[in-house]
Every structure is written in structure tokens, then in C-alpha cells.
Amino acid sequence: MEGKEEDVRVGANKFSERQPIGTAAQGDDKDYKEPPPAPLFEPGELCSWSFYRAGIAEFIATFLFLYVSVLTVMGVVRADSKCSTVGIQGIAWAFGGMIFALVYCTAGISGGHINPAVTFGLFLARKLSLTRAVYYMVMQCLGAICGAGVVKGFEKGRYNSLGGGANVVNAGYTKGDGLGAEIVGTFVLVYTVFSATDAKRNARDSHVPILAPLPIGFAVFLVHLATIPITGTGINPARSLGAAIIYNKDHAWDDHWIFWVGPFIGAALAALYHQMVIRAIPFKSK
């Protein structure tokens, strides 16, 4: 009990990620030392309030993300004339802007992932344990389902006729096109996450510190501009799952695998590129 009370009293994240993600990664310390990789399993996390608090933050953030973004999509789709709505650019801004705001709000609590693909990439880079990664993904998916459900409550009868904001490969494109768009789009996002939150880069290059959520949100905005015509832009398996479950039509499920396989491949490639090339981690020689 004493340990639990101490954790709550100081608000400490006893089992935080080995390298802070988000604005917490931007310190003034120039004597950077490589943090140890996170263990695969860390049972002690399950006894810490900060672990569950981080999951709740991921749930609420993903809930709000789906609520605002899918509601924006509904507003554009239901209009007779796209000129009377925010259009594709507005949809892209809704997604990117919400990521900017939510990463800023949650970076110091959970790292501000809000995306299973981001969590997966950081896990591959050993920034967090498997226990935390799985927990985050579950909470992200639950938040996305709830967020899409609230949107359906607002739209009621029109929700299904408007497509429910579900991701599908649009007419004129193949499943291969959709998969490729998701891989490249997620690579851009996860690579930006790694670069914007790299504490070693700040210590080594003394570049001008930037607000990490800004380039991350801007990356989401740009990827949406490019890929909305192809897949509606997934690059976030939780976002795709939440909309698909609430919409629940066959054609949404037909392409759904693309919005898991593509983002996970893109995240893995971004993690590999950043760790092995950008960070130049040497291979051990025998």
C-alpha cells in the first residue's frame, strides 16, 4: 500500500517508456546517454497506477480522435455540394489537427500514441514493453469503437447511408494500391514520430527544439491529403476498426485487413530505418 500511495502522491510514472515520447523527450541535457531497452515483460507495471492512467489517457484520446474526425467526414459526405463543406482539405485538417492537440495533451502521460501502428513501431524499437504495448492497443481500439458509436448516435439513420467513415479501397484502385498507400503513409507518420521525439538528435545536433506534436500532426494532415482518394486514409488500425465495427457492412470488412497489415508493415519499416540508419546503431561483430 505504501508504494501505491507514493505513486499516487507524487504522480510519478514509475514504469514510463525508457525514452520519453513527445514533449517530454525535449530536454536541455546535452550529455545524452542511450537509455537501456525496455524489457519484453515488466510485471511490475501491473501494480502501478501510472500504467493504468496511461491506458485511460490512450482510450480518451482515441475516443476524441474518432469522434471529431468521423463526424467531420459525415458532414462532408452528406452535403449535396462539396463546395458548401470543408472538403477533403478540411477532413485532412480535422485528422491532423486532432492528432496535434491530443499528442500534446497526452505525451506526458502515455506518450501520446493514439495509434496501434505507432505503438507497434515503438515496441519494435524497444521503447516500451510488450505488456504496455498490448494494453495500449486494446485501449486505443476500445476508444475508437466508442468514438465511432457516439457519431452514429448523432447521425442515426443517415450513418449507414453515409458510409460510417469506414475505410475501404475506393473504386479505380486495387487492393495492392490500397496496401501500398497504407504502408507508405504509415511509414511517413511513424518516421516523423521517431524523428520528432528523438532526444539523441537534440543532444547531438543541437537543432532548434520544436514542439513534437506539431510535425506529427502535420504528417497526418499531409498523408490524408495524398491518400484519402485511395483508401480514405487509415494509417491507424484503431481508427479503421472502430469505424468498421460500428458501420458493420460487408464491403468495409472485405478490405479491412489492409488497414492492419499496411500500417504494421509501414511502422516496422520506419522503426528499422530510424534505428539502423538514422540512429546508426552498429551491428556487433564476432
- Could you tell me the three cell numbers for 14? 514509475
**Where does the chain show beta strands of DSSP type E?**
none
The distance in angstroms from the start CA to the end CA of the chain is 48
Is a pLDDT exceeding 90 seen at residue 44? no
Q: How far is CA 264 from CA 122, 170, 175, 255, 276, in A?
A: 11, 21, 16, 15, 18
- Could you tell me the three cell numbers for 54? 496511461
- Contact between 141 and 116 (Cβ < 8 Å): yes
The whole-model pTM stands at 0.84
Domains and CATH numbers, the chain: 43-278 (1.20.1080.10)
Q: What is the pLDDT of residue 17?
A: 47
Is a pLDDT exceeding 80 seen at residue 18? no
Q: SS3 for 233-264, per residue? A: CCCCHHHHHHHHHHHCCHHHHHCCCHHHHHHH
Is a pLDDT exceeding 90 seen at residue 264? yes
Average pLDDT rounded to a whole number, residues 230-258: 94
Residues in the chain: 286
> Of residues 14 and 183, which shows the higher confidence score?
183
Q: What is the pLDDT of residue 78?
A: 78
Q: CA-CA distance, 191 to 222, in Å (whole number)?
A: 14
Q: What is the pLDDT of residue 156?
A: 74
Average pLDDT rounded to a whole number, residues 56-65: 98
Q: CA-CA distance, 271 to 187, in Å (whole number)?
A: 9
DSSP structure class, residue 275: I
The band of 14, judged by pLDDT with boundaries at 50, 70 and 90, is low
The band of 232, judged by pLDDT with boundaries at 50, 70 and 90, is very high
Is a pLDDT exceeding 50 seen at residue 129? yes
Percent of the chain with pLDDT over 90: 60
- Contact between 63 and 144 (Cβ < 8 Å): yes
- Could you tell me the three cell numbers for 172? 479505380
The runs of H, that is alpha helices, within 107-129 are 116-124
Q: What is the pLDDT of residue 30?
A: 55
The band of 24, judged by pLDDT with boundaries at 50, 70 and 90, is very low
Q: What is the pLDDT of residue 29?
A: 47
> Of residues 262 and 86, which shows the higher confidence score?
262
DSSP output for 137-153: HHHHHHHHHHHHHHHHH
Neighbours of 100 (CB within 10 A): 22
Is a pLDDT exceeding 90 seen at residue 5? no
Average pLDDT rounded to a whole number, residues 95-121: 95
